[in-house]
Amino acid sequence: MRYISTRGAAPVLEFNDVLLEGLASDGGLYVPEVWPKFSNSGNGDYVETAIEVMTPFIGSSIPQKVFEEIVSDAYSTFRHEEIAPLVDMGQGIYLLELFHGPTLAFKDVALQLVGKLFEYELGKRNKKVTIVGATSGDTGSAAIEACRDQENVEMFILHPAGRVSEIQRRQMTTVESANIHNIAIEGTFDDCQDLVKEMFADIDFRQQMQLSAINSINWARVMAQIVYFVVAAERLGGRHSSVSFSVPTGNFGNVFSGYAARRGGLNIDQLVVGSNTNDILTRFFESGTMRIDEVTPTTSPSMDIQVSSNFERLLFELLDREGPKVDEILKRFRKEKEMSISPDLHNELAKEWSGARFTDDQVKQCILEEAENSGIILDPHSAIGVLAGRKCRKTKNIPMIALATAHPAKFPEAVEDATGVRPKLPPHLKDLMERPEQFDKQPNDLQTVQNYIKEMVK
């Protein structure tokens, strides 16, 4: 298995190089040269299916026995025996719970595996890296849990001081591990992200520190997420019976994995993209035009995004894998803040994709109604998945599976505001609010932060 860049001008790589590289050298994202097909059946077991579905993507990069151990290890940290249980919500709507990992968000499903893959590959190459990342909440803690205690990784996670929720901050700052460093930046999330970008753009610093990232454009994360689409279909009637998925979407990574599952042979009827009021994707699926707006804060902060980086992978497919075309369109999009696809292409797209947006009030109402009607407690992100699935469903006899991307206790204020009851943290995080925190505050200044990182890495 080999990987090519969506911009068509980067070297073709094997899986293990794509894993460590992240972004392609031409600014594009790596995708498999061909989409491998799944076998016809599976038994719904998570780890077994994970090994089978991902093996063709790994190719000969990792010995089969080693890969099997890595997968089985990665999912041993999940606190539900089915890893991702499927809950019947009635009337053909199902909830796929992806939040039983260490940090209570779906990002654990990919990052628990990717962390282990990094550890293996770095160990094999006897290579040390410095991972730098910016977070507004969920990604930071999932990345920290994925790489804690690793010998070949020093990890620096920047968060905006005073601007992440207390639970999210504590999930990062209470991890006791010598290789994990939390930095509270006196600035906004955008400032944090800019600092990280500037560090990567500083070639000397980048090489000296062996900078690396495990952000959501990393192919390995998309790959790991394909698995639960397949598992869910298996549990509902097999890989060839028709199913639809509704996905609360931010960076488009999760729902793109659904697209990849369809390319692998899964019989997916509809892919529904749920948005909050930051609805750039929903507007795109409605009109064929993508236009950048301001980001508005909502009760589903992990979806408060305008430009969804993984969308580039779908665009590449829509344009028949013509890298230079993708490059041209996206460069223009960055400059003009707008781009359109042809009406023909838009019609084609609308057969399989739809999108719906919801306000904070609608989300609150949904959480309350669901709690009253079925007793299921949704977090605001998962509520958007359920709302979008119900709204966009075209065929009554095809099950609609809504992805639940966070545990309600991760967003207790919004859930309490809707239901009047504050959701409890699960047992492994029960004392989170009492644990000692460790982080250093730094000004929003590139030089200062770089010096801090250099000092720590020594």
Ligand X SMILES: *Cc1c(COP(=O)(O)O)cnc(C)c1O
Q: By C-beta, is 171 or 442 nearer to ligand X?
A: 171
Catalytic, out of 37, 65, 107, 394: 107
Site for ligand X contains 138 (CB under 6 A): yes
Site for ligand X in 376-395 (CB under 6 A): 381
Q: DSSP letter string over 424-458?
A: PPPGGGTTTTTSPP--EEEES-HHHHHHHHHHHH-
Q: Which stretch in 78-86, 246-254, 336-344, 420-428 sits in contact with ligand X by CB under 6 A?
A: 246-254
DSSP label at residue 406 = B
- Alpha carbon dihedral 305, 308, 309, 313, in 10-degree steps, equals 170
Q: Which stretch in 70-78, 88-96, 242-250, 289-297 sits in contact with ligand X by CB under 6 A?
A: 242-250
d(Cα 397, Cα 247) in Å, to the nearest integer? Answer: 19
Q: Between the CA of residue 332 and those of 11, 291, 328, 336, 339, what are the distances in Å?
A: 24, 12, 6, 6, 8
The number of angstroms, rounded, from the C-alpha of 411 to the middle of its chain's C-alpha atoms is 17
- The least distance separating ligand X from the CB of residue 250, rounded to whole angstroms, comes to 3
Site for ligand X in 55-94 (CB under 6 A): none
What is the 3-state secondary structure of 179-207?
CEEEEEEECCHHHHHHHHHHHHHCHHHHH
Q: Which stretch in 28-36, 151-159, 178-186, 249-257 sits in contact with ligand X by CB under 6 A?
A: 249-257
d(Cα 237, Cα 87) in Å, to the nearest integer? Answer: 15
Site for ligand X contains 141 (CB under 6 A): no
Site for ligand X contains 299 (CB under 6 A): no
Q: Which stretch in 1-9, 89-97, 185-193, 244-252 sits in contact with ligand X by CB under 6 A?
A: 244-252
- Phi then psi for residue 136, to 5 deg, are -105, 0
For the beta carbon of residue 142, count every other beta carbon within 10 angstroms. Answer: 28
Figure out which of the listed residues 78, 252, 353, 358 binds ligand X, where binding follows CB under 6 A: 252
- The least distance separating ligand X from the CB of residue 41, rounded to whole angstroms, comes to 28
d(Cα 88, Cα 228) in Å, to the nearest integer? Answer: 16
Q: Which amino acid is at 79?
A: R
Site for ligand X contains 249 (CB under 6 A): yes
Active site residue 107: yes
Applying CB under 6 A, the site for ligand X has a residue count of: 16
Half-sphere exposure for 422 (CA within 13 Å, toward CB): 4
The phi-psi region of residue 247 (left if phi > 0; otherwise alpha if psi is between -120 and 50; otherwise beta) is: beta
Report which of 283, 279, 282, 221 is spatially closest to residue 253, judged by C-alpha positions.
221
- Phi then psi for residue 154, to 5 deg, are -110, 130
Site for ligand X contains 174 (CB under 6 A): no
Per-residue binder mask for ligand X (CB under 6 A), 96-135, x = binder: ---------x-x----------------------------
The number of angstroms, rounded, from the C-alpha of 23 to the middle of its chain's C-alpha atoms is 15
Site for ligand X contains 251 (CB under 6 A): yes
Site for ligand X contains 164 (CB under 6 A): no
Figure out which of the listed residues 152, 246, 278, 405 binds ligand X, where binding follows CB under 6 A: 405
353: tokens are 């994709």
- The least distance separating ligand X from the CB of residue 137, rounded to whole angstroms, comes to 7
Q: By C-beta, is 122 or 315 nearer to ligand X?
A: 315
Task: Please state the length of the chain.
Answer: 458
- The least distance separating ligand X from the CB of residue 191, rounded to whole angstroms, comes to 20
- The least distance separating ligand X from the CB of residue 320, rounded to whole angstroms, comes to 24
Site for ligand X contains 246 (CB under 6 A): no
Q: By C-beta, is 152 or 171 nearer to ligand X?
A: 171
CB 192 within 8 A of CB 449: no
Paired sense of beta strands 3-5 and 30-32, if any? antiparallel
Contacts of 258 (CB under 8 A, 6+ apart): 229, 245, 247, 268, 271
Site for ligand X contains 254 (CB under 6 A): yes
Site for ligand X in 198-237 (CB under 6 A): 216
Q: By C-beta, is 49 or 254 nearer to ligand X?
A: 254
Figure out which of the listed residues 250, 258, 389, 399 binds ligand X, where binding follows CB under 6 A: 250
Figure out which of the listed residues 84, 230, 406, 418 binds ligand X, where binding follows CB under 6 A: 406
- The least distance separating ligand X from the CB of residue 258, rounded to whole angstroms, comes to 10
- The least distance separating ligand X from the CB of residue 105, rounded to whole angstroms, comes to 4
For the beta carbon of residue 396, count every other beta carbon within 10 angstroms. Answer: 9
Q: By C-beta, is 406 or 418 nearer to ligand X?
A: 406
- The least distance separating ligand X from the CB of residue 398, rounded to whole angstroms, comes to 23
Q: By C-beta, is 129 or 305 nearer to ligand X?
A: 305
Q: What is the largest CA-CA distance in the chain?
A: 60
Q: What residues line the site for ligand X (CB under 6 A)?
A: 105, 107, 138, 216, 248-254, 302-303, 381, 405-406
Give the residue numbers marked as catalytic: 107
